[in-house]
Amino acid sequence: MNAVGFPLLSLITFLPLVGAGIIMSVRGEDAVIARNARWIALWTSLIVLLLSLILWVRFDPSTAAFQFEERLAWLPEFGVGYHMGVDGISVLFVLLSTALTPLCILASWEAIETRVREYMISFLILETMMVGMFCALDFIIFYVFFEAVLIPMFLIIGVWGGPRRVYAAFKFFLYTLLGSVLMLLAILYLWYNAGTTDIPELFEQAVPRAAQTWIFFAFLASFAVKVPMWPVHTWLPDAHVEAPTAGSVILAGVLLKMGAYGFLRFSLPLLPEASAEFAPLIFVLSVVAVVYTSLVALAQEDMKKLIAYSSVAHMGIVTIGIFTFNQQGLSGALFTMLAHGVVSGALFLCVGVLYDRVHSREILRYGGVAQIMPSYAMVFMLFTMASIGLPGLANFVGEFLVIIGAWAVNPWVAFGAALGMVLGAGYMLYLYRRVSFGRITREDLRALLDLSPREYTVFAPLILLTLWMGVYPQSFLSFFEVSVAALLQRHEAALGAARLAGM
């Protein structure tokens, strides 16, 4: 129990499983089951969103301590327990997960026609795993949620995806699972060394320097795949292209943040010396990712694949910010993660609008869309401008802060991040021009209908968030400034103690 008088985090985490159970109990004809499954999933996700808004309102951003904590003895003889809580670093990612889920369910309302019940159950289970991962304060609980995310996403891609869905699903699963096996070994070492898997307790115990390097690379193997960092990013374009639209939204909006969250939550506070030693390696991999994947994006003819490569570039900017070890860089990385979750999710929804009508993602298949779908063209333009970092929109603030933080560490790293923004403007504007402008060369495009009321409903909150984050960024930055400052203070204190011990 916590300050609100009831186990709020557990309700937010596990209520989707209740909705999934209700959907499983629905009986009747296929059409009745499908209709009821959609509505139950939507109302469940909306109730979870309402609870997460209570969490947001009641959260105190003036303290770096974990809040809304819940504890339950599970395996006390092994130092393992059910421990949940949020701080300024995790609370907004809980809200991002719960906000995108009902939008994804709405986006799938007409697009998913087969096995609707199973699809909605998969999405609700996925929501539980995402929220649980951001709330977990025990390493074993975290690992369970971190890995369990793979199962519903594997099904969403492999069952409801495109023609190569089985290949993409297995590639996604194997890449992410193999990296996480090494993380499990690192967790077992930490448990053996400290006698507990409680994360706040582990923060208070120093990891031997000789072990930090191995643990750092064990975490890197898992988190780098999830980010994804170059060169272990190749699963992402295939997964995005084959996934249904809502699957791509969650994949880009939330799942790509899991690796970066892992760096922030574990690598920096638990392994300060190894993190500082190998920061140059992360910078090199990140700058290569930013530049290389931006150039690859310029060559794409599939809209989804282009946006997928742009996600790798944006997440490269995030990892640069994390390893600057300064307030601007880390705050910018967190803000960019949130902004990218909103903007990239919206871009995949924009692609889905066209795909639902034409059943093609080939850029050359379109042209002149703005003439027949003016409202859609305006929405697509807004998120295109946000993606390239136009001032006044979501991405600009985070990327600008990362560049400032990187400049304080190494001007060349800052230059690489800035070059990514320039290249991003190139490929996104190139995409928008080819899809929206020019002559209509295919007669079937003239019959396209503009956005429907349901599609307006999906885009409206994303538009508001994009403008809100660009115009009033402090309302988001204030949530994690104190937690970031405490993380940096702990990191610097650990490095200082290590230097004194080595004298």
Q: Can you tell me the mean pLDDT for 310-337?
A: 90
DSSP string, 148-171: HTHHHHHHHHHHHS-TTHHHHHHH
pLDDT of residue 2: 58
Q: Tens digits of per-residue pLDDT, 91-147?
A: 999 999 999 999 999 988 888 888 888 999 999 999 999 999 999 998 889 999 988
In three-state secondary structure terms, 300 is coil
pLDDT of residue 186: 87
Taking all residues of the chain, what is their mean pLDDT, rounded to a whole number? 87
pLDDT of residue 498: 62
From the CA atom positions of the chain, what is the Rg in Å?
22
Interior CA angle at 348 toward 132 and 466, to 5°? 75
Q: What percentage of the chain carries pLDDT values higher than 70?
A: 97
What torsion do the CA atoms of 147, 152, 155, 161 make, to the nearest 10 degrees?
Answer: -110
Query: What is the rounded CA–CA span in Å between residue 46 and residue 37?
Result: 14
- The answer to whether the CB of 222 falls within 8 A of the CB of 179 is yes
Candidates 177, 173, 176; CA nearest to 158 is 173
pLDDT of residue 39: 93
For the whole model, what pTM was predicted? 0.90
pLDDT of residue 207: 79
Q: Tens digits of per-residue pLDDT, 370-422?
A: 888 899 999 999 999 999 888 888 888 989 999 999 999 889 999 988 888 88
Interior CA angle at 29 toward 24 and 35, to 5°? 65
pLDDT of residue 191: 86
Q: Tens digits of per-residue pLDDT, 59-95?
A: 888 888 888 888 887 777 777 888 899 988 889 999 9
Q: Can you tell me the mean pLDDT for 481-494?
A: 82
Residue 191's identity, in one-letter code, is W
- The answer to whether the CB of 399 falls within 8 A of the CB of 389 is yes
